[in-house]
Amino acid sequence: MQIDWFTFVAQIVNFLILVVLLRLFLYKPILNAMRDREERIRQRMEQAEEREREAEEVKQEFEDKRDDLRHRESEILEEAKSEAQSRRDELLKEARQEAEEAEKRWREAVRRDKDAFLSGLRRRAAQELCAVARRALADLADAELERQVVHVFAAKLRDLPDDAATALADATKDGQPVRVRTAFELTGDAEDEVRQALDAAGHSGDMTVERDEDLVCGLELRFAGHRIAWSVDGYLGSLERRFSEAVERSVRSDDDGDSDGDGKGADE
Amino acid sequence: MNVTPDQTVYVDWGFVKLNATLVFSWLTMLLLVLGSWLITRRITATSDLTPGQNLMEVLVKGMESQIEEISQERPRRYLPFVGTLFVYIAVCNILSVVPWYEAPTGSLSTTAALAVCVFVAVPYYGIRHVGIGSYLKQYVKPNPMMLPFNIIGELSRTLALAVRLFGNIMSGSMIVAILLAIAPLFFPVVMHALGLLTGLVQAYIFAVLAMVYIASASKARRDKAQAEEDSSDAEDSEGES
């Protein structure tokens, strides 16, 4: 058992060759591959961390947005509520105004009805009164009412106040005619009497006579803005006032008793 | 029967003899290089590994960590030498269970060659690592009187490396051969299994010892660095006091 020197040297060479070959074919590629893999894993981890961070950021952003939206939601709701409230108030106001206007219109209508009624009443009352008076005068004094009216009117003309007399004289001076309106046909005597009265008052011009039923059993003289008249109107005036008050009272009591009255009570 | 494969000579040209040691060494080398090439040819850095690459990575990584543990240094510069020692011896020893295969490590010529490689590698790495002065100074430590002992130690451990490996492998194959003559059934198989174990253990011991010798040769610089660190610490503390 001894060392074979050739084998010994050959084995040294063999071993060194093997070291070189294995280094070339085994260690280097394996170590490089492992290093590369570690590098890749490190990169992947870094990427993953980066992505995680990004995801976290995006998540945070979305959460912020969501919170913002939630916040806005309540704001919008609040806005809608206030808008609805204001709209409701507006509508209520409009409705109230309309109701007020309707009431006003109704009151106006009532007033008109009342006026029409009263004026109608006045006219009829005057006519009735005239008829009654006429009959009474005819029966009692054996004289016509109209005649008596003319007498009174003529007396009034004769007793004109000074300023009216002056105005009448001025009007005559200008040659302007005076207008006499009557509610009835003037007979010749009556016309003469009026003319004489005018003459006495200082008037010498023409005189025109017009019929006007509205005067209600009376006479009226107009000239240059002045008016001299007698009629049952004066008497009827107080009567009408009293009627008016009575109607007013009844309307008011109707209003109190029947809040949504439609004016029928006034007509009745 | 032959005690060592050196004695199985196929061709004899006087000094140059083609014996079984060389033939099986080449065979083993061819196997190793071819296998490595086949595996690393399709190497990939992805996690999609072939089983061969996986095996190689485990092997290389294992050797690397062992070297790092012993040398306390970056293992890459020692890996080709020490790793090849381990792989070559281990494959030779494992293949000895193959019939008619004669492990080259069973020849004193081979183990002596490997031991001489280690013997040369120690100063090679030591000088490269710490410089020739520091390396040579180790022989006169702790005092010049130790120089002869250090040199003897250097030589004797090389001899021990060669003889230990040779003795173990040779004795293993001898025992199998003897048992084959005495009890040809079962026992040789058991001894072969035991041989596998001792073969791997011997490969490990050889590589680890080589690494330890190399590491101790480059230890000087670490000692020096350590000493400098200590002295600077001492100066600092003096300055403070």
Please work out, in degrees rounded to the nearest 5, the angle formed at the alpha carbon of residue A206 by the alpha carbons of A202 and A210.
115
Q: Which token pair is B189?
A: 């198989």
Torsion of CA B197, B198, B201, B206, to 10 degrees: -150
Residues of B within 8 A of A31 (CB-CB) are 60, 64, 76, 79
Of A22, A33, A37, the CB nearest to B32: A22
Burial category of B104 from C-beta neighbours within 10 Å (exposed 0-12, middle 13-18, buried 19 and up)? buried
- Exposure b/e, B14-24, CB count within 10 A at least 16 = b: eeebbbbbbbb
Helix, strand, coil shares, percent, chain B, to 5: 80, 5, 15
Kindly tell me if the per-residue pLDDT of A105 is higher than 80.
yes
Instruction: Using pLDDT thresholds of 50, 70 and 90, give the confidence band for residue A266.
Output: very low
Mean pLDDT taken over chain A? 80
For chain A, the C-alpha Rg in angstroms (whole number) is: 61
Q: Does the structural domain A143-231 have CATH classification 3.40.720?
A: no
Amino acid at B83: G
Instruction: Using pLDDT thresholds of 50, 70 and 90, give the confidence band for residue A263.
Output: very low
Of A8, A31, A37, the CB nearest to B60: A31
Which of B239, B219, B202, B225 shows the shortest CA–CA distance to B88?
A: B202
- What confidence tens digit (pLDDT) does each residue in A124-137 have? 877 777 677 666 66
> For chain A, where are the alpha helices, taking DSSP H only?
5-22, 28-140, 145-158, 162-173, 188-200, 233-257, 264-267
Residues of A within 8 A of B173 (CB-CB) are none
A25/B36 CB distance under 8 A: yes
Q: What is the pLDDT of residue B163?
A: 93
Instruction: Using pLDDT thresholds of 50, 70 and 90, give the confidence band for residue A143.
Output: low
How far, CA to CA in Å, does A222 sit from each of A170, A204, A226? 13, 15, 6
Residues of B within 8 A of A27 (CB-CB) are 60, 79-80, 83
| Closest-CA distance of chain B to residue A46, Å | 17
In the block, which residue shows the tokens 């029966």? A139
Please, what is the end-to-end C-alpha distance for chain B in angstroms?
A: 77
Which residue does chain B place closest to A13, by CA atoms?
Answer: B113
- What confidence tens digit (pLDDT) does each residue in A196-208 have? 887 777 776 677 7
Please work out, in degrees rounded to the nearest 5, the angle formed at the alpha carbon of residue A156 by the alpha carbons of A152 and A162.
175
Distance of alpha carbon B126 from the chain centroid: 17
Q: What is the pLDDT of residue A175?
A: 67
Under 8 Å CB-to-CB from B16, ≥6 apart: which residues?
Answer: A6
A6/B45 CB distance under 8 A: no
For chain B, the C-alpha Rg in angstroms (whole number) is: 22
Contact yes or no for B206/B169 (Cβ under 8 A): no
Q: Report CA torsion sign: B201, B207, B208, B213.
A: positive
Kindly tell me if the per-residue pLDDT of A68 is higher than 70.
yes
Q: What is the pLDDT along chain B (241 residues), one digit of tens a residue?
A: 577 888 888 888 888 889 999 999 999 999 999 999 999 888 888 878 888 889 999 999 999 999 999 988 888 889 999 999 999 999 999 998 888 888 899 899 999 999 999 999 999 998 988 888 888 888 887 888 889 998 999 999 999 999 999 999 888 888 888 888 888 888 888 888 888 999 999 999 999 999 999 998 877 556 666 666 667 666 666 555 4
B45/A40 CB distance under 8 A: yes
Higher pLDDT, A169 or A7: A7
C-alpha–C-alpha distance, residues B128 and B132, integer Å: 8
